[in-house]
Amino acid sequence: MATVLYITAHPHDHQASFSMAVGKEFIDAYRESHPADEVVHLDLFKEDIPQIDADVFAGWGKLQSGSGFDQLSDAEKAKVARLGQLVDQFVAADKYVFVSPMWNFSFPPVLKAYVDSVAVAGKTFKYTSEGPVGLLTEKKGLHIQASGGVYSEGPAAGFESGFSYLKKISMFFGIPSFEPLFVEGVAANPAAAPQIKADAIVKAKEIAKTF
């Protein structure tokens, strides 16, 4: 049995969001094809995702200097503990499905905060004399991204910073397979938007069978 983290970063649901609509179809098809697997949904707009702030740095600093967890302030305890929960959950999973819209060429800030929470030395990567080495070498990932324009190829490809960033961080973590499913051009060509979504759903269901 495998564990899938279904990580969504959109304030809307599948009825109002192209990325969420395709994501729902993917995860429904995945459950059908892999009934023994566990799917854990993390809705980043509803989860507590602490930012790396002064409390976190202070808490980490105290722990690294030998202080006990009980010596942290209440704010430090809450944030440091939650960050620990998030990275441990991420490491324990076998597969990752990220779902997000493209906002200003990237993704919503809460997704960056989540990535920061799981980018932890000794957990998802380690430092060596030859540089950092990823530790998640037996995982795989998928990113479902919707955008108003076309950014996977063509003249605007250089502006795409959503999937390209997640691909880089997955490589940093050692994840050998991290693929995109683009749902793009829905604002540039509104008349074609329903067909763009339908085509992406067909792809999503196919990918789900072997993911």
Predicted pLDDT at 157: 95
At which residue do the structure tokens 């479902």 appear? 144
Q: What value does the mean pLDDT of the chain take? A: 97
- For range 197-207, the mean pLDDT: 98
Structure letter (DSSP) for residue 73 = -
**Helix, coil or strand: residue 163:** helix
pLDDT band at 154 (very low <50, low <70, confident <90, very high): very high
- Residues in binding site for FMN: 17-19, 102-105
pLDDT digit string, tens, across residues 26-61: 999 999 999 999 999 999 999 999 999 999 999 999
Predicted pLDDT at 109: 97
At which residue do the structure tokens 């499913």 appear? 181
pLDDT band at 153 (very low <50, low <70, confident <90, very high): very high
Predicted pLDDT at 164: 97
Q: Which two tokens stand for residue 113?
A: 């905060």
Q: Smallest Cα–Cα separation from 110: which of 10, 5, 6?
A: 10
Predicted pLDDT at 106: 97
- Residues in binding site: 17-19, 102-105
User: What is the percentage of the chain residues whose pLDDT exceeds 70?
Assistant: 100
Tell me the pTM.
0.96
Predicted pLDDT at 69: 95
Predicted pLDDT at 118: 98
